Amino acid sequence: MLKIGISACFFHADPNRAIFKGMTLQYIEQNVAHWLMQREVLAFMVPSPDGATRRPGSRATVDAYADELDGLLLMGGSDVCPATYHEVPLRPEWNGDGVRDDYEIALLRAFVAQGKPVLGVCRGAQIINVAQGGTLYQDIATQRPDALNHRNWAIYEQNCHATALIAATPLAKLYPGTSLVKTNSIHHQAIKDPGRELVVEAWSEPDRMVEALRWTGGSYLFGVQWHPEFHDPTDRSFVDDTPILDNFIAVAANHKAAAYAL
């Protein structure tokens, strides 16, 4: 079975938290793991190797995880810190999580260096963009007041919009004969300026916010702004996300087979 790593979300130390007082927590949302495990996949959370409590002599590094795993999924979560893309937060509450940014960018680069596939979901797509030198809208409503409402807390994953697949891109080729799909929308930040060697493969309609982008470099590095793991597979009005999953898994399997053949 393939072994796919999932980057961790962070709850940083909080002396006022009711559980694990003053401790840093790292976790994943179970739908992400279950989405991967539809296929012949073992999902593993990848804890950050760094931190104040790192034990002397530990040999766990992002490179070691990239050695052992067959692919990486960067999951959603907290805001990306504007400082990570060389901006100042427009509001204090948009300062994001720079610690997690550094960890995920290092993890991404370790997998890319080995030619192993990386799939980004929501924040994960934004991290891919920032890692390649791109920028983000810190808050869509503030910086793009003409845009759709891309996050509605009250209905959360039921908030949705139309997404256009850009013709002739690898994403569009996964959906032959389809140009417009329905996706969920759970984000207040978004990709602004695409980074180096990144090509936009989908955008929301009618406001054209980036919904998918792909690296044109030497390995699979692809991100979607929506949450495929939150789509109800029985609701046929939403896009079928399994072609994206199967493509990611196929790339991981092919890379593993090629490595064994050497």
- Respond yes or no on whether the N-terminal peptide bond of residue 170 is cis (omega within 30° of 0): no
pLDDT band at 55 (very low <50, low <70, confident <90, very high): low
- Position 53 pLDDT exceeds 60: no
- Position 227 pLDDT exceeds 90: yes
User: What's the 3-state SS for 156-198?
Assistant: HHHCEEEEEECCCCHHHHCCCCCCEEEEECCCCCEECCCCCCE
Q: Cα dihedral angle (134, 138, 141, 147), rounded to 10 degrees?
A: 10
Tokens representing 176 are 């032959």
- Active site annotation includes 160: no
pLDDT band at 17 (very low <50, low <70, confident <90, very high): confident
- Position 51 pLDDT exceeds 80: no
- Active site annotation includes 40: no
Q: Which of 9, 81, 122, 160 is catalytic?
A: 122
Tokens 């034990």 appear where? 55
* 3-class DSSP assignment, residue 7: strand
pLDDT at 251: 98
pLDDT, average across residues 219-241: 96
147, 104 contact by CB (below 8 A): no
pLDDT, average across residues 200-229: 98
Say which residue, 256 or 51, is predicted with more confidence: 256
Strands 210-215 and 221-224: antiparallel
* 3-class DSSP assignment, residue 71: strand
Q: Which of 104, 201, 229, 255 is catalytic?
A: 229
Cα 1 to Cα 4, 39, 114, 120, 257, distances in angstroms: 10, 9, 19, 21, 12
Range of the domain at 12: 2-261
Give per-residue pLDDT as tens, 148-166: 999 999 999 999 999 999 9
Q: Which amino acid is at 48?
A: S
Helix axes 98-113, 123-131, angle to 10 degrees: 70
Q: Range with the lowest mean pLDDT among 6-10, 67-71, 211-215, 257-261?
A: 257-261
pLDDT at 220: 98
Q: Which residues pair with 222 in a beta bridge?
A: 119, 214
74, 122 contact by CB (below 8 A): no
- Active site annotation includes 34: no
**CA 3 to CA 42: how far, in whole Å?**
5
Strands 9-11 and 118-121: unpaired
Q: Which amino acid is at 10?
A: F
Of the candidates 217, 213, 220, 226, the residue with the CA atom closest to the CA atom of residue 70:
220
Give per-residue pLDDT as tens, 20-30: 999 999 999 99
Q: Which of 150, 161, 187, 227 is catalytic?
A: 227
How many domains does one find in the chain?
1
- Position 60 pLDDT exceeds 90: no
**CA 182 to CA 104: how far, in whole Å?**
28
CATH number of the domain bearing residue 150 = 3.40.50.880
- Position 76 pLDDT exceeds 70: yes
Tokens representing 187 are 């984000």
- Position 57 pLDDT exceeds 90: no
Mean pLDDT of the chain: 95
pLDDT, average across residues 72-84: 98
pLDDT, average across residues 56-63: 80
Give per-residue pLDDT as tens, 99-118: 999 999 999 999 999 999 99
pLDDT at 62: 94
Tokens representing 148 are 């759709």
